[in-house]
Amino acid sequence: MLIFPETKFDFCGDEYIYAEISKEMRIESNFKAISITNELRKRNIPGMIEVYPSNASYLIRYDPNAISPHHLLDYLQEIDQQKSDRSELYFSSRIIEIPVWYNDKITKRTIEKYQHLQPEAEGDDFSYVMKANGFTDKEDFIASHSAPPYFITSLGFKPGTAWGFPLGVPQRQILQAPKYPSPRSYTPSEAVGIGGAFTVVYPSESTGSYQLIGMSAVPVYDPGQSLPLFQDSFFLAKPGDLWKYRPVTEAEYYNIREEVAKRIYEYRVKSIEFSAEQYDEEGMRYISQLMEGF
């Protein structure tokens, strides 16, 4: 049942208001954060500069010369009260397929260089995460990870990094992994990692502390906007999207990479309307309905 505590609002300096929906990460709180920030963008409030949704909160940047922070707070409190009704938690979304070469050779070569950071993994993040979640068979682990869609809760860390939380999975069955005690100095672009209950695709080469389990065959960040799906943004992800990981072989991975390089690859995408109320009531049955035909 969707029940929210009272949202806590704080003024941060002269240009920001921070709203904390809940102290702990709850997917329901993220549904509310995305619904509120979408509504704020629709209203196009004069003086509001940027809106940043996060896992269980959101941040507003505004121009204090254009709007009083107290007037803006009135807007926020009004919308917050409206979106505390679960029937108001709905938004346009997309299901996007991400082909992944799991247990790949690329990340394995990377991980070998950082074995000293977590000796217990013995230089193999994939097997480490698999065993930590009670799996003995690699294919069973891949099937478990790729079965649910992952709800994009927020973007951050580096441009294009999107955090995905599995939907329709019982709490006790959600795959989880500890982060590296100290981060790697290098992670390959498009590496797929798990940290806590979240899965990410690294958008570019960077440091990183998530356990690496595969490689995305497609980019999630395109600063040149050379692929059609990136015409409106450098980033593939938008908060509220659902990413569906599809296992591919090594050969399929390189075939897709070639299509990407030639700029002829077409992402598999389905537009949907997401209802938090229906998800709350029907769970996996609702997710299965959304995934029909995909």
The whole-number average pLDDT for the span 121-142 is: 96
Amino acid occupying residue 94: R
Please answer whether residues 149 and 243 qualify as being in contact, where contact means their C-beta atoms are separated by less than 8 angstroms.
Answer: yes
pLDDT value for 8: 95
> 26, 57, 87 — which closes off a domain?
87
The answer to the question of residue 2 being in a domain is no
Residue 157 maps to which CATH number?
2.40.100.10
* HEC secondary structure over 154-201: EECCCCCCEEEEECCCCHHHCCCECCCCCCEEEECCCEEEEEECEEEE
The answer to the question of residue 1 being in a domain is no
pLDDT surpasses 60 at 37: yes
pLDDT value for 3: 67
CA 283/CA 215 separation, integer angstroms: 29
Residue 33 structural domain: 8-87
The whole-number average pLDDT for the span 129-137 is: 97
pTM, two decimals, is 0.93
Average pLDDT value for the chain: 94
Torsion sign across C-alpha atoms 211, 217, 220, 223: positive
Interacting residues of 176 by C-beta distance below 8 A, sequence separation 6+: 132, 133, 194, 196, 197
The whole-number average pLDDT for the span 21-40 is: 91
pLDDT digits (tens, 9 = 90+) for 142-179: 999 999 999 999 998 888 899 999 999 998 999 999 99
The whole-number average pLDDT for the span 246-266 is: 97
Closest CA to 133 of 171, 195, 176, 196: 176
CA 33/CA 57 separation, integer angstroms: 6
pLDDT surpasses 90 at 2: no
Q: In this structure, what is the dihedral angle of CA atoms 57, 63, 68, 73, given to the nearest 10 degrees?
A: -10
pLDDT surpasses 60 at 51: yes
pLDDT value for 177: 97
Per DSSP, the three-state class of 36 is: helix
pLDDT digits (tens, 9 = 90+) for 257-287: 999 999 999 999 999 999 999 999 999 999 9
The whole-number average pLDDT for the span 132-143 is: 97
Residue 64 maps to which CATH number?
3.30.1360.40
CA 268/CA 284 separation, integer angstroms: 22
